[in-house]
Amino acid sequence: MTRLLLIADELFAQPLCVALSSAADFQIQQRARFSTAKKAVAAGAFDACVLVPASLSGLPNDVASARALAPQMPVVAVVPEGAPPAIQQSLLLAGADLVLSQPIDAAALASALQRLTARGQFLPGPASEMNESAASAGPMPGRKAAALSSALEVLRDFSQVLGYSLDHCQLTHHFVLKLREVVGLSRIAIFLEPSPAGGLPVTEAPPADDHSMPCAAAVGLATELVECFALSRKSGLGRLLTRQPQILRAPSLSSPGALDPKILREFEVLGGSVAIPVNDRERTLGVAVLGGRITGGEFSDEELLLVFHLLEELGLAVKNGWLHTQLVGSHQLFSSVLDGITCGALVLGPGRKILYANRAVVRLLRNEPGTDSGTARVEFSDLPAAIATKLRAAVEQGAACEPFAHELPDTRQLWRASIMPLCPTSDAKPQAAMLLLEDFTQVRAAQRAEIESSNLKLIGVIARRFAHEIRNSLVPLTTHHQMFDAEIDHPEFRASLKEALARETQRIERFTEQMLLLARSDSPATELAPLDDMLRQSFAKSRELTGGTGELEIHSDLPPVLLRCNRSGLSHAFQEIFLNGLQSAPGTPHLTVTLSATPTDDGLAELVVQVRDSGRGFAPDAAGRATEPFFTTRNTGVGLGLTIARRVIEAHQGRLEVQPRSLPTDADLTIYLPLPR
């Protein structure tokens, strides 16, 4: 196959590529400009170059550049029909091997390219050496056929070695033995970088010599030398061939040249005459050091080039062995991790085939505590129908589902199941699906126990608060009861008894109403009630509960507001809020209520009610807990007032916010309620 670089525009190149491909065996790389292919030409990526530019102005420069970058590469220039002879002459002087005029005969061009490339097929080297080699070798076709036959025999032998083992050490050892047999080496040593750790990357510190390349296999060297001698990427042969991956011959003792003394020392210790990099076509993995022939002759360039390519194949095989080791290690690691977790893991593939099942899922499905995942087998039929249906849908359709609970009717076990489709890419169909099963039986039992314990604690708190509040009301009544027979005739006693009955009855009635609202705070809002009347009536009831003192001031720029609400419930919420402000302010309390409206995200409006009392306001720690049930900072009361208010307001699709003051004029509480449409 001839690797051809075609410099032409897309419109012209497409039919020419088709014609050349049908006329001969060409691998064509098309570029619009020669400047974009300079690096590839300099690297020797092409066997021939055909230039068909859109303009003749830069064609001689492109020809000269191609000739300078690849002196042995045939260059064919194509000029438009009727181009003056001077143009053709300038192209030949620039270095073109052939100048053609359009229109082009594809068959003729293919024949010319084959002749030019056949003439230029020789190994790089001084011209004198090549001429002498050609003169001594005889006719070119016969020599090429013999070399090709020999190379094929070598590749056939080495194909068996490269597939021998995935263990890179054994593979390299057999490669060294076969290379010594084919080439006739006196000694050889191959140094490779350490294989990467199997499985996932570890977090341990890297070894001290991270650039070391120990000997992977050797023949003809002492065992002690092989075990203690290594090359390094930081110096010597390892450094040079890593930076410049090329065949390096050892200089003779009479003319050591300009090589690093470290390199000369390594050649001397290993008894080597040639060093060749071992690469995987991407980077250098190691270095092979070859001794001389057993017969004492020198290596030819053809032999070294063949060894170079064989070592490249070795590098690819070693890299594949490393990848295999890493994959095996990762597989074993993941299997160990999944087997060690208490959550059941199962992977279902196409055809309802179980690809993996860890110990935990086997125990759950088979109900066998001592089961080992290595010996037990789980079938698709072992899965409960509800879980199996969703798992099958995930495999066949990629249908994801939220984690769900599944209770076994026979054993009353509770499982939490999670199903995840396993897709190779985000837009591909799943190839399998993973099922995670967690036994939530004990978790549910613990939750129920915690709920029961919390309920008992709550009942205890309620009982203590009830007893305290009722005792506070019973004390004055009991006192008057004890004095009733002796003092009933005195007007002062009768007045005191009447006041105590009214006050304590009112307190018990408020406490009872709180309990009822706490139980049914979500009563439907069916009435249209004026806000101003509700605020003033609620304040009057609150002031009556505190002894009849206190003032209310309402500021509003709004027209009269009608709220759709449960009037009794919302009035009680305002009453609790006002009562909290009256009890917090010393002397004659003063409450200020400010009404306003603000737009909402859905384009409607909501009512904003800000309440501030004449006291000190909420402390920062108390503001966050003010609406918690049974939280109070006073010795009287149950601590349900603001809790009831918040629940009633939230039942009206509103919210209650309690905040400490930053400025003296800041509000203590803010109520948000939706306005009727």
Task: Identify the burial level of 369 via C-beta atoms within 10 angstroms of its C-beta, where 0-12 means exposed, 13-18 middle and 19 or more buried.
Answer: exposed
Write down the pLDDT at residue 214.
92
* Same domain membership, residue 575 and residue 487: no
Q: Cβ distance 612 to 668 under 8 Å?
A: yes
For residues 4 and 48, the answer to whether their CB atoms sit within 8 Å is yes
**Both 505 and 524 in a single domain?**
no
What is the tens place of the pLDDT at every residue in 473-520?
A: 788 888 888 888 888 888 888 888 888 888 878 777 777 777 776 666
Mean pLDDT of 622-626: 86
**Tokens standing for residue 580:** 């909290």
State residue 427's pLDDT score: 61
Residues 576 and 485 in one domain: no
Query: Per-residue pLDDT averaged across 29-57, rounded?
Result: 84
Share of the chain above pLDDT 70, in %: 85
Q: Are residues 173 and 313 in the same domain?
A: yes
- For the chain, what is the domain count? 5
User: Do 432 and 471 share a domain, yes or no?
Assistant: no
pLDDT (0 to 100) of residue 379: 87
64: amino acid identity, one letter: A
End of a domain among 514, 547, 570? 514
The burial class, CB within 10 Å (0-12 / 13-18 / 19+), for 207 is: exposed
135 domain-assigned: no
In this structure, the number of other CB atoms found within 10 A of the CB of residue 646 comes to: 25
The CA–CA distances, whole Å, from 671 to 515, 544, 648, 663 equal 22, 23, 11, 19
* pLDDT attached to residue 368: 56
Share of the chain above pLDDT 90, in %: 14
| In a shared domain, residues 417 and 474 | no
Residue 389 has pLDDT above 60, yes or no: yes
pLDDT of residue 24: 65
Do 432 and 552 lie in a common domain? no
Q: 274 pLDDT exceeds 90?
A: yes
- pLDDT at residue 92, as a whole number: 87
The reply to whether 130 falls in a domain is no
Per-residue model confidence (pLDDT) at position 205? 41
Q: How confident is the model at residue 144 (pLDDT cuts 50, 70, 90)?
A: very low
Shared domain for 406 and 459, answered yes or no, is no
CATH number (domain holding residue 605): 3.30.565.10
**Interval 55-67: pLDDT, tens:** 788 888 889 999 8
- Which CATH number belongs to the domain containing residue 73 in this structure? 3.40.50.2300
Whether 367 maps to a domain, the answer reads no
Angle of helix 491-519 versus helix 531-545 axis, rounded to 10: 130
Domain boundary among 514, 542, 562: 514
Give the burial string for 648-662 (b: 16+ CB within 10 Å, else e): bbebbebebebbeee
CATH number of the domain enclosing 147: 3.30.450.40
Quickly tell me which residue has 């055909």 as its tokens.
Answer: 50
Task: Establish if 124 belongs to a structural domain.
Answer: no
Domain with 554 in it: 520-674
The arithmetic mean of pLDDT across residues 15-41, rounded, is 79
Mean pLDDT across 376-395: 86
Domain finish residue from 490, 514, 538: 514
Mean pLDDT of 322-341: 82
pLDDT for res 585: 81
Residue 142: is its pLDDT beyond 70? no
Q: Are residues 286 and 163 in the same domain?
A: yes
Convert the pLDDT of each residue in 534-544 to its tens digit. Answer: 999 999 988 88
pLDDT per position as a tens digit, 410-438: 777 888 899 988 887 666 677 789 999 98
Separation in Å, CA 517 to CA 172, 286, 506, 508: 85, 83, 16, 14
pLDDT in tens, 163-184: 666 777 888 888 888 888 888 8
Question: Could you tell me if residue 555 is inside a domain?
Answer: yes
State yes or no: pLDDT of 3 exceeds 90: no
- CB distance 91 to 79 below 8 Å: yes
Measure the CA angle with vertex 190, ends 184 and 196; round to 5°: 150
The answer to whether residue 287 scores a pLDDT higher than 90 is yes
Between 203 and 364, where is the model more confident? 364
For the stretch 208-241, pLDDT in tens is 446 889 999 999 988 888 888 899 998 899 999 9
Q: What pLDDT, on a 0 to 100 scale, did the predictor assign at position 544? A: 84
| pLDDT at residue 288 tops 90 | yes
> What average pLDDT score do residues 581-606 get?
87
On whether residue 125 sits in a domain, the answer given is: no
Q: What is the mean pLDDT of residues 658-670?
A: 90
Mean residue pLDDT of the chain comes to: 81
645 within a domain of the structure (yes/no)? yes
547-577, pLDDT tens digit by residue? 778 899 999 989 999 998 888 889 988 988 9
For residue 335, being part of any structural domain is answered with no
| Same structural domain, 488 and 540 | no
In this structure, are 501 and 525 located in the same domain?
no
Same domain, 317 and 193: yes
